[in-house]
């Protein structure tokens, strides 16, 4: 592309957006709000489709290609800029720190189908390091001497100029399958590879014959390990600028940060940039994941400095990419992008709410400006991780674990809560979620509610240790939970039975307890207040804890337990009791 054409694609400096760039920016945002199919049609029908494609950020372009499917996106690949092609190859043709030759072949084939001349120019730019390594791994080269006859060369060598002869290398032995179906697939892959390599060399030679010769000569002196290491270093630098850090570094996003550990961003992070350039550079797809009512969205609206707001939007895209790397998620669908974006928005919001406290939204913008999104995310995630650490520490000294009980002892809701906290990366248990019950914490209120429930679980565990109730054996018909263990032990005591072991109560005996438990009523019966007093007195006597000590930690939990019993059984009469449908008690 000529210098004049390149200058046409860059917004003018000075912070003002000329009309033509403003229109381009508006059109770009419209396209990225459409379905992939609509976006493709809109671009191809535009008067200047190349300008519109180049206006898409590298990340937006890659995501649009992934949404369309690479083969359907060939018209877009034909119009892509060098940076957009670089980004696609950076993400698609590497397996960790190794170049994936098969993936490279597939993408080179697509580029040859889309715009072979464009591919040749991209491949030969600079030092052509990528194409050199790719060719080194796939072809053998012989330079014909003036006195050599091509018939003396081994079979399979071909030439475009009768000077440089090349032959496609066979597949390595490890890639040679044994069964017929796999052999057919391998043969098809080999044919595709040969087709791609021959076409690639033909277009390179046609585009710049001297560079073609130089390229093949360079293969003899190439050190593949060093070449691959250098390519990987360049790729890592390009991706790091967009937030795609190496995995070990990306994991740092989950390193918790406390309020006192926050460090103001250096002034270089607030560098002044051209407003129009920044607006064009901000990836749009990640921004659409910021829910309008979230603390992050509201904080960004309160950032008065347009430049700083644009920088924070760029930082959000980088944060999403960093989370994707740390979670080992290849973001190729809108759902995956939404999941990553939702996590970023949620923990930034939790961090803002925790740091600002009573000051609320009035301080959010200043917090983001001073500390940036990454530090605030780590503060927010640290709140969830602190819950996990509390749960882990309690688990190792807990009564229920020492008694050989499983998580099911805590009944469904609390079992789910503990299961989420015991994960390597803690999750919130949402019993009302339609598909799967685990998700990331969405706000500080969920952190606080989970903390309250965890405190109740630990208080019950302490109470059980003091009560010294022997857990029932494995022969019970009803699964053992903390609810039926506690209530059955109390019922046995009330009926004058032994509490040295947790055994089911006969139905007739339980009917007497049940009749005393509820106030007589023509409708739904209520639990007698006197029975609650008797229950608390029994807890205190057996555990050795004062009623005030029990109430201070478990008053609401015990009230909730009695309310649950009342809701479940308040309409039953003692004559209608069926042990199969009374899971709060262990009955014969």
Q: Which residues are within 8 A (CB) of 252 and not within 5 positions of it... i.e. 6 or more apart?
A: 245
The 10s digit of each residue's pLDDT in 468-503 is: 887 765 556 778 999 999 999 999 999 999 766 678
As a whole number of angstroms, the distance between CA 131 and CA 202 comes to 14
Indicate the pairing of strand 438-439 with strand 98-99: unpaired
For residue 184, what are the CA distances in angstroms to 80, 105, 134, 198, 437? 34, 18, 24, 21, 44
The two structure tokens encoding residue 199: 């076409």
pLDDT of residue 432: 85
Percent of the chain residues topping a pLDDT of 90: 71
pLDDT of residue 382: 97
Ranking 198-207, 429-438, 482-491 by mean pLDDT, the lowest is 429-438
Three-state SS string over 64-102 comes to HHHHHCCCCCHHHHHHCCHHHHHHHHHHHCEECCEECHH
Can you tell me the mean pLDDT for 429-447?
Answer: 90
For residue 364, what are the CA distances in angstroms to 287, 345, 353? 18, 13, 8
For residue 267, what are the CA distances in angstroms to 262, 270, 308, 369, 399? 15, 5, 12, 11, 53
Q: Give 428's DSSP letter.
A: E
pLDDT of residue 9: 44
Residue 177: pLDDT band (50, 70, 90) is low
Max CA separation in the chain (angstroms) = 115
Is the pLDDT at 186 greater than 90? The verdict is no
> Residue 124 in contact with residue 96, Cβ under 8 Å?
no
Backbone angles phi, psi at 98, to 5 degrees: -120, 140
Q: What is the pTM of this model?
A: 0.85
pLDDT of residue 171: 74
Can you tell me the mean pLDDT for 531-553?
Answer: 96
Task: Identify the helix (H) or strand (E) that includes residue 348.
Answer: helix 334-356
As a whole number of angstroms, the distance between CA 361 and CA 327 comes to 30
Cα 68 versus chain centre, distance: 22
Residue 190: pLDDT band (50, 70, 90) is confident
For residue 334, what are the CA distances in angstroms to 32, 338, 479? 12, 6, 42
As a whole number of angstroms, the distance between CA 488 and CA 491 comes to 5
């Amino acid at each position: 592309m000529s210098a004049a054409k390149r200058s046409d694609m860059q917004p003018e400096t000075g912070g003002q957006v000329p009309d033509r760039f403003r229109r381009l920016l508006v059109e770009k945002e419209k396209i990225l709000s459409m379905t992939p199919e609509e976006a493709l049609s809109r671009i191809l029908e535009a008067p200047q489709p190349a300008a519109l494609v180049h206006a898409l950020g590298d990340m937006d372009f890659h995501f649009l290609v992934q949404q369309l499917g690479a083969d359907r996106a060939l018209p877009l690949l034909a119009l892509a800029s060098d940076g957009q092609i670089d980004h696609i190859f950076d993400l698609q043709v590497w397996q960790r720190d190794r170049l994936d030759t098969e993936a490279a072949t597939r993408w080179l084939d697509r580029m040859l189908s889309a715009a072979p001349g464009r591919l040749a120019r991209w491949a030969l730019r600079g030092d052509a390091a990528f194409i050199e390594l790719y060719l080194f791994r796939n072809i053998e080269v012989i330079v014909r001497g003036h006195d050599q006859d091509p018939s003396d060369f081994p079979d399979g060598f071909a030439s475009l100029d009768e000077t440089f002869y090349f032959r496609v290398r066979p597949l390595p032995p490890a890639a040679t399958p044994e069964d017929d179906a796999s052999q057919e697939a391998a043969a098809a892959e080999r044919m595709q590879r040969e087709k791609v390599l021959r076409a690639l060399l033909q277009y390179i030679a046609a585009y710049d014959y001297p560079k073609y010769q130089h390229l093949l000569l360079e293969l003899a002196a190439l050190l593949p390990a060093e070449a691959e290491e250098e390519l990987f270093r360049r790729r890592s630098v390009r991706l790091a600028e967009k937030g795609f850090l190496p995995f070990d570094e990306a994991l740092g996003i989950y390193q918790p940060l406390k309020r006192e550990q926050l460090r103001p961003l250096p002034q270089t992070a607030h560098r002044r940039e051209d407003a129009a350039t920044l607006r064009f550079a901000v990836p749009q797809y990640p921004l659409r994941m910021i829910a309008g009512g979230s603390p992050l969205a509201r904080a960004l609206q309160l950032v008065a400095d347009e430049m700083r707001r644009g920088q924070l939007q760029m930082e959000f895209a980088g944060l999403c990419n960093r989370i994707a790397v740390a979670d080992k998620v290849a973001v190729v669908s809108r759902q995956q992008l939404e999941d990553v974006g939702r996590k970023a928005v949620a923990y930034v919001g939790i961090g803002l709410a925790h740091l600002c406290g009573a000051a609320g939204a009035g301080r959010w913008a200043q917090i983001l400006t001073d500390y940036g999104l990454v530090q605030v995310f780590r503060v927010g995630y640290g709140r969830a991780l602190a819950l996990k650490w509390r749960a882990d520490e309690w688990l190792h000294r807990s009564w229920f674990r020492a008694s050989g009980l499983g998580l099911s002892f805590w009944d469904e809701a609390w079992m789910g809560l503990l299961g989420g906290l015991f994960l390597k990366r803690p999750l919130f248990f949402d019993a009302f979620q339609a598909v799967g019950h685990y998700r990331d914490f969405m706000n500080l209120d969920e952190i606080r509610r989970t903390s309250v429930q965890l405190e109740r679980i630990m208080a019950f565990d302490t109470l059980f240790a003091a009560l010294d109730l022997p857990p029932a054996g494995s022969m019970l018909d009803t699964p053992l939970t903390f609810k039926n263990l506690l209530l059955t032990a109390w019922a046995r005591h009330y009926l004058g039975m032994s509490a040295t072991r947790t055994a089911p109560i006969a139905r007739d005996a339980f009917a007497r307890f049940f009749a005393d438990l509820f106030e007589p009523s023509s409708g739904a019966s209520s639990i007698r207040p006197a029975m609650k007093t008797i229950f608390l007195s029994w807890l205190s006597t057996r555990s050795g804890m004062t009623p005030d000590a029990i109430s201070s930690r478990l008053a609401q939990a015990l009230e909730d337990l009695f309310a649950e019993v009342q809701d479940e059984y308040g309409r039953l009469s003692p004559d209608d009791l069926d042990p199969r449908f009374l899971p709060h008690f262990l009955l014969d």
